[in-house]
Amino acid sequence: MAAVATGNLLAVLAEIPDPRERQGRRFQLVAMLAAVVCGILSGHRGYTAIAQWLRAQEPRFWHKLGFTRKPPCPNTFRDLLLLLHPEQLESALRKWMAGILDRPLAENELQAVSLDGKTLCGTQALCDTLAAHERSVHLLSLLDQQLGCVLSQQAVESKTNEHKAALQLLQTLVLKGRLVTGDAMFCQRDLCQQIVDSGGDYLFVVKGNQPDLKAAIEAEFRPAFSPGDRKTAAAAAL
């Protein structure tokens, strides 16, 4: 195969260490991971769907990905992904997406990204004792609002919450020139300070679960945004 350009999907996938034993490397790691990424981007979920989709492609497409023989069966994909560290694949894909999405921002322009948590159905994992089940996998993601794509994500551990996970997740992305949005969960002083210290801006919702903060904000902005309050204040002055 010819050398690939910097920022190419195959180039960033090639940086991932192969977790398989020598006897399990019948297919190139880059080819298999590229097949998984392309299959998912084409709307196919699960090992069987990805393997079937790949085998339905023309041989020249297999060769472009790096396969030198007929693509593997679903179990081969499964065995590889069970061995692979998710953080390594996540980091490679983040690097690839950064190269695609990178564009110069106009002066005073902000790129909006959303913090969003989602529980994945059917992903209950056995705990260490194998006697009980933990909660389903819960992911916290940073979503590009303009393109609708996930820039970065990580699992939220069962013993923590989205606020604590966000402190780590935001470290994976350059925040300069970005506006981070989210719901009331993320309206926390340490999180807001981290965003500002990293060169970003934030816009979080404040609700009744933080009554003191909500009251302070209402008191600060009420004269500017409430015509009724201004009339009441003017009448009292008379």
Tens-digit pLDDT profile for residues 127-158: 444 445 566 778 888 888 877 778 888 888 87
pTM over 0.85: no
Higher pLDDT, 5 or 52: 52
| Alpha carbons 87 and 147: distance in angstroms, whole number | 23
The reported pLDDT for the residue numbered 13 is 93
State residue 37's pLDDT score.
Answer: 93
Stated as kind and residue range, the H or E segment containing 112 is strand 111-119
What residue type is assigned to position 143 of the chain? Answer: L
Amino acid 102: pLDDT: 64
Question: Given pLDDT bands bounded at 50, 70 and 90, which one contains residue 232?
Answer: low
Amino acid letter for position 229: D
Distance CA(70)–CA(65), nearest Å, equals: 12
CA 209-211-217 angle, to 5 degrees, is: 120
Query: Is 65 in contact with 37 (CB distance < 8 Å)?
Result: no
Over the stretch 157-195, which tens digit does the pLDDT of each residue have? Answer: 877 788 888 998 898 888 888 899 998 888 888 999 999
| From 14-18, 29-33, 135-139, 213-217, the region with the lowest mean pLDDT | 135-139
Q: pLDDT-derived band of residue 33, with 50, 70 and 90 as boundaries?
A: very high
